[in-house]
Amino acid sequence: MSGLDSNPFVDPVDTNPFQDASITQATTRGSDTSGEFNPFSATEMETHTATTIPISAASSQPAILQTSVEQSPQASIATGQANLLKQQEELEKKAAELERKEQELQNRSAGLALNTGAKENNWPPLPSYSPVKPCFYQDFEGEIPEDYRRICKRMYYLWMFHSATLFLNVLACLAYFTASSDYGIDFGLSIVWFLLFTPVSFICWYRPVYKAFRSDSSFSFFFFFFVFFFQVAVYIIQTVGIPKWGNSGWIAAISMIGTNLAVAVVMMVVAGFFTVNAVLAVVLLKMVHSKYRRTGASFNKAQQEFSTGVLTNRTVQTAATSAAATAAQGAFGRN
C-alpha cells in the first residue's frame, strides 16, 4: 500500500535549481576576485587617467542636423562664370547694334551712291503708260533714319498742303475776277504762282531737307534754312492778301464783303489756309532746327561739303574746262 500513498505529481528526485554546479562555480569565482569597487581609491584613480570633458564644453548641437545654406566655392565660381558669360553676350549684342547703326550712318553720309544708282525713280507716282517718267526717288522707311522720319514726313505733308492752298487760291482769285473785272491781274498771277511755286518749293526746300535727313548733310541743312526762311515770308505776304498781288488773303477777302458776300467767304477760307501754312511753316522750321542741332552739323562742314561737291562734280569740271579753253583761245586770238 505504500505505493498508493506516494504523490504522483511530485518529482521523485528533489533537486534545487540554485545548486547547479555551473552557477555555484560562477558565484564563488566572482566573490573571490572582484571585491568592493571604489572609484575614488588611489588604485582606480591611477587606472583611469583619461582627460575628462567639462559639461560646459560639451556640444550643444541639436539632435537633428541642420543643412548648410552656404554655397561651396565651386558653385560660387560656376555662378560667377555664368553671370560673366551673360554680361559678355549682352555687351556683344550692344556692340553689334552700335556697329550696324554706325555702318548705316556711313552709308547715308556717302549718299548711298551704289544703291541709289540701282533704284528706279518713284516720284511723282505716274502711271507706267505716261510719257513723263518720275524724276526723284523717295522712300521714308528705307532712306530716312527713324529719329528724323516723322519730321521729314511732316515737311512732305506741308508741301502737299502748300500745293493744295495754291490751287484753291486760283479758284478764289477766279471768283474774285468774276465779281469785278478789275481783278483779272490777281487771277493771272494766281495761276503763275501755282505753276511756279509748286515745283520750285519741292525742289528748293523739301528735297534739301529730305537729303539733309537722309545723309546728314550740313550743306543741305543750310540751303534749306536759307530758302525756307523766304518761304515763311511769302506765306505771311499771302496771308495778308495785298491786292493786285495774286493772293486771296485777308485784306482782299474783307474788301469783298460789301460787294459780294459769297466771294468774300470763299476768299476768307483760302486766307485761312494761307494762315495755317504760315503757322505750320514756323513750327516745323523750329523743329527742323532742333533736329539739326543734334546732328553735329556746322557751317565749316557745309563749306567742306560744298567744296568737295563742286570739285568732284563732272558738270562743273566740264564747264570750268570749257570756260578756261575759251578764255585761252580769246587771249591767243587777241595776241
pLDDT of residue 131: 87
Which residue, 233, 242, 216, 232, is CA-closest to 158? 232
pLDDT of residue 73: 73
Strand partners, 123: 136
pLDDT of residue 14: 52
pLDDT tens by residue, 132-174? 888 899 999 989 998 899 999 999 999 999 999 999 999 999 9
> 74: how many CB neighbours lie within 10 A of its CB?
8
pTM: 0.60
Q: 109: which residues sit within 8 A by CB, 6+ positions away?
A: 215, 216, 217
Which residue, 140, 135, 108, is CA-closest to 120? 135
pLDDT tens by residue, 43-52? 555 555 555 5
pLDDT of residue 86: 85
Q: Which residues of the chain carry a pLDDT beneath 50?
A: 1-2, 30-34, 56-59, 65, 68, 113-114, 116, 316
pLDDT of residue 274: 97
Please, is 251 exposed, middle or buried when counting C-beta atoms within 10 Å of its C-beta (0-12, 13-18, 19+)?
middle
